[in-house]
Amino acid sequence: LASASEDKTVKIWDPATGQCVSTLNIQVNDLQFHESNSNFLRTNLGTFDLQAAAIATVFGPAPNDRSSPIAVGYSLSSNRAWITYQGENLLWPPSEYRPSSSAISGTVVSIGCSSGRILFFTFADSKTSQQVS
């Protein structure tokens, strides 16, 4: 079970015990578990690897001190300033094109801008389907 809050966190819950098992520092509007692998959480910012986030919680932050969950495939950075791939910065849109809303599906990153424009970024290559399957 997953819940998103206005405090910019996503909590993962054990439905059998009602205990919070993980807290992720990320603000999302939409979330759902991947259809075939519940270790992946799909959000409007991208897909995140919950198993890797749980390992980071147990063993402490990685050397680069990521407080956000580990992104799989294309996503948006937690501050929405970058389009990322595998958690690494890939494309920096100018501020007037930063998302007020977003949706990500495979190799397509869709951004709704505050101006009313909708931008679609389609990337040619993705290993997302191989990693999430």
pLDDT in tens, 105-133: 888 898 888 888 889 999 987 554 444 43
pLDDT digit string (tens) for 29-71?
888 888 888 888 888 888 888 877 554 444 344 444 444 566 7
Would you kindly state where each structural domain of the chain is located, as residue ranges?
2-132
Give the pLDDT score at 92: 92
- Residue 124 CA to residue 40 CA, distance in Å, equals 23
Task: Give percent above pLDDT 70 in the chain.
Answer: 80
Q: Is the pTM of this model over 0.85?
A: no
Q: For 107, which DSSP code?
A: T
What number of CA atoms fall less than 13 Å from residue 123's CA on the CB side? 19
Residues 6+ apart with CB under 8 A from 41: 2, 10, 12, 31, 32, 33, 34, 47, 48, 50, 69
- Residue 51 CA to residue 11 CA, distance in Å, equals 13
